[in-house]
Amino acid sequence: MKKQIPFLVALALIISVVMTTVMMYGCNKKEEAETITETVSQQVESTPAAIEKDMAIYTDIIANLPAGSAYAFADMAEDQDALLVAEQTISFEGKLEASKAKVYAQDKDGNVKEMGTVESSTTSMPLMAFEHAVYFGSHSTMSKASINTKESKMEVETAKTNNDETDVANKAYNVLFEEYGRGTIIEFTELQK
């Protein structure tokens, strides 16, 4: 029995040291997590939402659009969103879509300019956004447009189908068509004046 007492005391001492270490480690992590959460919250509050930044950049263009026009923002470059302006929209399931829009974006100097037009030949293929590009086309042609900020221009990649699965051009069409299908329909906001 005398040999067991020092063993039990040593075991109790080891358990208390381990418990104290675990408690201290866990408490420090909680404090660190709270500090990180507060820092992120402060950053989020001070950072304007993407839509607010876009509105500030394109305020002059949006303000001068005629009544009935619609606009949307689309991710067409890694470093900026583009403004899409449609004269006509289609209401589908409570959302406004378009098959044709003018594209405005910032050039390399930060000035807003019209970059071109994106247009599907059918209203059954609304403009879609996917991975820094806007997709549009027809049942036999697909296109992908993105903004090259460094060169201040819109770049368009187009492919046509010829229904020959072994043809390289047809494979390019299939890739663009698949990406179009994975995209998100661009939702427009109609101007009320």
* DSSP letters spanning 69-110: -EEEEEEEETTEEEEEEES--EEETTEEE-SEEEEEEE-TTS
In the predicted model, what is the mean pLDDT of residues 11-26? Answer: 54
Amino acid letter, residue 77: A
Looking at the fold, whether 41 and 67 belong to one and the same domain comes out as no
Using the predicted structure, report yes or no on whether residue 26 has a pLDDT greater than 60.
no
Q: 20 and 101 in one domain?
A: no
20: domain range?
1-47
Report, as an integer, the average pLDDT of 2-17: 53
Q: Is the pLDDT of residue 51 over 90?
A: no
pLDDT > 60? residue 34: no
When pLDDT is cut at 50, 70 and 90, the band that residue 155 belongs to is very high
Q: How confident is the model at residue 173 (pLDDT cuts 50, 70, 90)?
A: confident
pLDDT at 27 over 70: no
Which residue type does 149 have?
A: T
Assess whether 119 and 28 both reside in one domain. Answer: no
Place 16 in a pLDDT band, splitting at 50, 70 and 90: low
44 residue type, one letter: V
Total domain count, the chain = 2
Instruction: Judge if 103 and 157 occupy the same domain.
Output: yes
Regarding whether 66 and 15 lie in a shared domain, the answer is: no
Instruction: Give Cα separations from 24 to 27, 30, 107 (angstroms).
Output: 5, 10, 54
Instruction: Check whether residue 183 and residue 112 sit in a common domain.
Output: yes
Question: Domain boundary at 24, 47, 70, which?
Answer: 47
The DSSP annotation for 132-190 comes to S-EEEE-SSEEEEEEEETTTTEEEEEEEE--S-TTSHHHHHHHHHHHHHHHSEEPPBEE
68 and 151 in a single domain? The answer is yes
Residues 59 and 115 in one domain: yes
For residues 1 and 77, membership in a common domain is answered with no
Say yes or no to pLDDT of 148 above 50: yes
- The pLDDT tens digits of the residues spanning 67-90 come to 889 999 998 988 888 999 999 998
